[in-house]
Structure 1
Amino acid sequence: MGSNSSTAASTEVSTIVKHWREHPPSSYSLKIHNFSELEKSTALSDHKYQSRLFTYGGYNLRLIIYPKGNGEDNVRGFISMYVEIDSKSLMLFTSPTEIFAELRFFVYNKKENKYFTIQSQCEFGVDVIVAPSLTNWEVLSFTKKYFDPKFSWTIKDFSELKEDVQKSNSFPMGGKEWVLALYPKGALEAHGKWLSIFLCLADSDKPEADEKIFVQARLGVLNPLGSYHFEYPLETWYTEQSPGWGWAQFLPLAELPKVYLDKEDALKVEIEFKVVSETKYSFTEADPLEKDWVQLTPEN
């Protein structure tokens, strides 16, 4: 675990206190099912996982985890954990902009049935805090086994299609509704040369703010015999800003009539899912620091 000067107003640390305790964290909890899958999925993006924003002390915060260590801090062989304040929270306040916070980082040890804590301290004093029940948490899991992991889509009279885009019926997978979007003449710069295909979340299941969904699948075009002849692996995170992902240059259009269209001018597309992540959340608007907070300050 480490500290990151780019995400903190002050990094003056005089002592680090480590100990065990049985009581769970009271501010926020992030539980991850199948940590190895998180390592793989974050390695495909920015090597970190950011929790959803939660409110504490009047500020919006998030927990950031680097499963294999934060390379920007030259950390290898350790898990890096940070707390980051949302810059929009600071806009609500006037000077001073420096914020004092005492941080305790927790890692649950299943064998000991206790929480290992690392506490950063930068001044002497005492805060008496009555810890409330945990109400802000998220659980990230990676579903890997499906009763029917495949979805097949047949586009008839392919050569006669006039519309720029064709969309499949929506289909469920991993607790979400999905659609395939196919551009028979190509999308954007690929128009007239390439077949374009995208996997998108259905309009009814677009990601919420801060929501992230990891998908690992393979998307292919079948030849008339029904076997895979051309496919791409798909591994990406879906977010509010990126609810769809795919390839503008999936397959040259010139190859379709030679290999992939059957005698009835139909094209068959198939996707097989391997992993879809799911995150469960619990949040409360109440600020725990507005209750049960007593600060003892020595007189000068």
Structure 2
Amino acid sequence: ANATQISREVYAVFRLFLLDQNKGNYLVLQEQNERRFHGMKLDWGFDQFLSQKVFTEASNGFLLDDTSVFGAEIFVCKERSTCKGEYLSMLKDAVMYKHVWKIDNFSKLDAEFYDSKTFISGDQKWKIQLYPKGKGNGIGTHLSLYLALADPKSLPPGSKIYADITLRILDQVNARHQFGKGNFWFSASNPEWGWWRFITLGFLSQAGMGFLSKDTCIVEAEVTVHGISNAL
């Protein structure tokens, strides 16, 4: 349903017609009660309008030369907008943007979290958030990694951004990278998405694994914005 269908309610009484082409008369079925059309109920009608046998019998005139004539008459009783719903704009040529974040002197990181430089994907500003000692259920045992809207307050009220994301820590030695991927609706009230337990601190620092090479960690984010939803 489009935005108009979602936000509008129409109450109507209607008749449906089928022409008897032999006599020039119409078979008429009328809905006696007004029906409410809206975004979640776009159609009303008659499940048993006419039997196949009666419809195809040539003497009845409803189907002649593989042609039939239908009609409708509609009486709108009232129409109003509910002022609710959402309008979703999908991006036909969504482009994936990759942002690479090189973090030097990793062992000396002592703040709760760090932000990458801001980058743009799908006309939205983003940043990677890294918690070197974990966040939530990952505190003390894991590194936590998130993608976040860099300026969520700039979004209009009710707006949401639908994006596919991949977050990755590069294995600089063996090219066996640690990654997580998924999709999420980002908004001003839900501006970030990621993993509390992205990788264990033991595995991250394990010799020969390559996640920390010369005390440098390389983090990548791939972001593809597929749609934007706005409140009506």
Could you say which TM-score interval applies, normalised by the shorter chain? Answer: 0.5 to 0.7
Q: State the shift of 1:140 in Å.
A: 2.1
Could you tell me which residue of structure 2 aligns to residue 287 of structure 1?
Answer: none
**Equivalent pair of 2:99/2:222 in contact (CA under 8 Å):** yes
**Equivalent pair of 2:131/2:144 in contact (CA under 8 Å):** yes
- Give, in whole Å, the separation in 1 of the partners of 2:76 and 2:217: 68
Q: State the shift of 1:141 in Å.
A: 0.1
Q: State the shift of 1:210 in Å.
A: 2.6
The 5 A counterparts of 1:6-85 are 28-29=4-5
Could you tell me which residue of structure 2 aligns to residue 46 of structure 1?
Answer: none
- Give, in whole Å, the separation in 2 of the partners of 1:271 and 1:106: 38
Task: Give the alignment's TM-score, normalised by structure 1.
Answer: 0.49
Could you tell me which residue of structure 1 aligns to residue 217 of structure 2?
Answer: 267
Among the aligned pairs, what percent are the same residue? 24
Q: State the shift of 1:251 in Å.
A: 0.2
**Equivalent pair of 1:176/1:205 in contact (CA under 8 Å):** no
**Equivalent pair of 1:207/1:238 in contact (CA under 8 Å):** no
Which residue, out of 187, 200, 203, partners 1:239? 187
Amino acid paired to 2:4: Y
- Give, in whole Å, the separation in 1 of the partners of 2:108 and 2:218: 15
- Give, in whole Å, the separation in 1 of the partners of 2:88 and 2:184: 19
Q: State the shift of 1:242 in Å.
A: 1.5
Which residue, out of 36, 53, 62, partners 1:102? 36
In our comparison, the structure showing a higher alpha carbon Rg is: 2
Could you tell me which residue of structure 1 aligns to residue 144 of structure 2?
Answer: 196
Q: State the shift of 1:202 in Å.
A: 1.1
Could you list the runs of 5+ residues in structure 2 that have no partner in the other structure?
11-33, 46-74
C-alpha RMSD of the superposition: 3.8
**Equivalent pair of 2:161/2:225 in contact (CA under 8 Å):** no
Matched, 1:248 2:196: yes
Q: State the shift of 1:128 in Å.
A: 5.8
- Give, in whole Å, the separation in 1 of the partners of 2:176 and 2:160: 30
Amino acid paired to 1:197: L
1:228–1:153 Cα change, 3 Å: farther
Matched, 1:215 2:140: no
Which residue, out of 185, 201, 207, partners 2:133? 185
Secondary structure at the aligned position of 1:276 is classed as strand
Could you tell me which residue of structure 1 aligns to residue 89 of structure 2?
Answer: 140
Q: State the shift of 1:205 in Å.
A: 5.4
1:152–1:235 Cα change, 3 Å: same
Question: Which portions of structure 1, spanning 4 or more consecutive aligned residues, are displaced by more than 3 angstroms?
Answer: 54-57, 104-107, 126-131, 142-145, 204-209, 225-228
**Equivalent pair of 2:9/2:37 in contact (CA under 8 Å):** no
Could you tell me which residue of structure 2 aligns to residue 18 of structure 1?
Answer: none
Could you tell me which residue of structure 2 aligns to residue 278 of structure 1?
Answer: 228
Amino acid paired to 1:28: T
1:29–1:102 Cα change, 3 Å: closer
1:128–1:145 Cα change, 3 Å: closer
Amino acid paired to 1:165: F
1:173–1:159 Cα change, 3 Å: same
- Give the total of aligned pairs: 176
**Equivalent pair of 1:29/1:137 in contact (CA under 8 Å):** no
**Equivalent pair of 1:174/1:278 in contact (CA under 8 Å):** no
Task: Give the alignment's TM-score, normalised by structure 2.
Answer: 0.61
Amino acid paired to 2:89: L
Could you list the runs of 5+ residues in structure 1 that have no partner in the other structure?
1-24, 31-53, 58-99, 108-116, 121-125, 284-300
Residue deviations 1:177-208, cap 9 Å, x none?
Answer: 11111000111332221000111111255544
**Greater shift in the superposed pair: 227-236 or 187-196:** 227-236
